[in-house]
Chain A
Amino acid sequence: MKIITLGNCCKKSIQNHKNAVIAAKNCGVEEPVNVSDINEILKYGVMMTPALVIDGTVVSTGRMLSVEQIENLIRERS
């Protein structure tokens, strides 16, 4: 499972990435990668960061997710 967090321009995005790292560890999946380049972010069609991408699918945009929420998203897809 490949998890990508988009954006690191503000506190919310940074916190979102940290939460994703913890959630991934808890679920025993690969550590998430952070993408901050706007061009790369737009390739996912996302205009509001923070956003979360799991296996190429955008699962959340414009919201900071809690560790628990990310865990649920990971479990739904595994």
Chain B
Amino acid sequence: MDEPINFAEEEQTNPKKKEIFAKRHKKLLIFLGVLAAIGIAVAIAALADGIKGIQTLGNFITDQILGMKWLNTILSLACTAIFGAEFMATRWGGAIQFFIYDTIKIIVLLCLLIFIISYIQSYFPPERTKKLLGKYKGIWANAMGALLGTVTPFCSCSSIPIFMGFTRAGLSSGVTFSFLISSPLVDLGAFILLSSVFGFPIAITYVVVGLVLAVVGGTIIEKTGVGKNVRDFILQGTITETLGVELKRKDRLLYAKDQMLSTLKKVWIYILIGVGIGAAIHNFIPTEWIQAILGQDKWYSVLIASVVGVPMYADIFGTIPVAEALFLKGVGVGTILSFMMSVTALSMPSMIMLSKAVKPKLLCWFIVVVVLGIMAIGYIFNALNFLFV
């Protein structure tokens, strides 16, 4: 008598269980759905035209969606209508079009990206990152440090507290420096913007190489023992473990919006300067000049690009238009990567902040390791340039 009742009960509870599963794993299901959609799109492209179809799809995404080439077409029509075809054929015409197109493109992408990135970052406050890093050992800890550096919100204002917090929590100097190197260098925003300007292969390469540099740089600083040269006050004192603050979705969205507005307020001037320099390079400086200084056949091009970039303080968003213009003038990929990395990874304000936390010896090592790493990347990529062009 009992059994049939049990069956009936089970049948009743089962659909409920399914509902709970769907509710609990909503995020997972959405994620899988997006993956499936991407997979189907690629599959259709592949069925329609084989490998070529996938390439066409990739080019469409980088050129039209991320690169907004359609905007350039509309702008060129609009400019011709306003200024006349004669003016547009001159250098000034080209420069104005490049300036308007690049400014709009970068600002639109920046707003969208900062919003998405900040939302993701709200899941990785440094307090949590520190906790996560404590679980890893050896080279894996360095790799995780580099990876988490890409998603943890970071500004020069918080570099010292983070440095102190990590060190006091017992994280090795290598892990801390892997984090500090990758943090400004690699993030989702840089990846998307790079794909929009240079296409996916260079963007993926930039990210991978940046992470490798962070891991190797951190390891060198730790293994040579120079990582111990931190200022005394860093080690005196303790850090408490916080439980962390649970955020609701509304909080995260609000945080993302605030972050977007404050970042835009902070970097718009760098974007305009960057685009201005880019437009000038694009239209006024003869290709021969640039080729003479930064051409691929010149062994010193990477050296110049790295050294010039170090003291410059600019956001990755400001350097991309300059890099774009140099790329169009035929400068080697390695030289451009060196320039971008040295501008973003090392800057005067961050050096000054760091010098308060570490002794001069460690600061010098940090700069030397990063600059040499960036230059090595530049030379390797210039040698492999044929793969990208």
Contact of A63 among B233, B237, B240, B258 (CB under 8 A): B258
Instruction: Pick the contact of A42: B164, B243, B251, B258 (CB < 8 A).
Output: B164
Tally of A interface residues using CB under 8 Å: 21
Would A48 and B240 be within 8 Å (CB), given that A58-B245, A59-B245, A61-B125 are in contact? no
What separation, in Å, do the CA atoms of A46 and B240 have in the docked complex?
8
| Closest B residue by C-beta to A38 | B161
Contact B240 A47 (CB under 8 A): no
Indicate with 1 or 0, residue by residue over B254-292, a CB within 8 angstroms of chain A CB atoms.
010010001000000000000000000000000000000
For residue A5, CB closer than 8 A to chain B, the reply is no
A46 to B165, CA, bound (A): 8
CB distance from B9 to the nearest CB of A (A): 40
Q: List the B side residues contacting A39 at CB < 8 Å.
A: 233, 237
- CA A58 – CA B262 in complex, angstroms? 24
Q: Are A46 and B242 in contact, CB atoms less than 8 angstroms apart? A: yes
Report B-chain residues with C-beta under 8 Å of the C-beta of A41: 161
CB distance from B264 to the nearest CB of A (A): 15
Count contacts on B: residues with CB < 8 A to the other chain.
Answer: 27
Cβ contact of B157, chosen from A10, A45, A59, cutoff 8 A: A10
How many angstroms between the C-alpha atoms of A62 and B240 in the bound complex? 17
> For A38, what are the chain B residues with a Cβ–Cβ distance below 8 Å?
160-161, 164
B228-253 vs A: 1/0 string, CB under 8 Å?
A: 00000100011111111100000100
List, in ascending order, chain B residues with CB within 8 A of A19's CB: none
User: Nearest chain A CB to B237's CB is how many angstroms away?
Assistant: 5
The residues of B with any CB-CB pair to A shorter than 8 Å are 125-127, 130, 153, 157-158, 160-162, 164-165, 168, 233, 237-245, 251, 255, 258, 262
Nearest 9 interchain pairs by C-beta: A45-B242, A45-B240, A47-B126, A47-B165, A47-B161, A42-B239, A10-B157, A58-B242, A39-B237
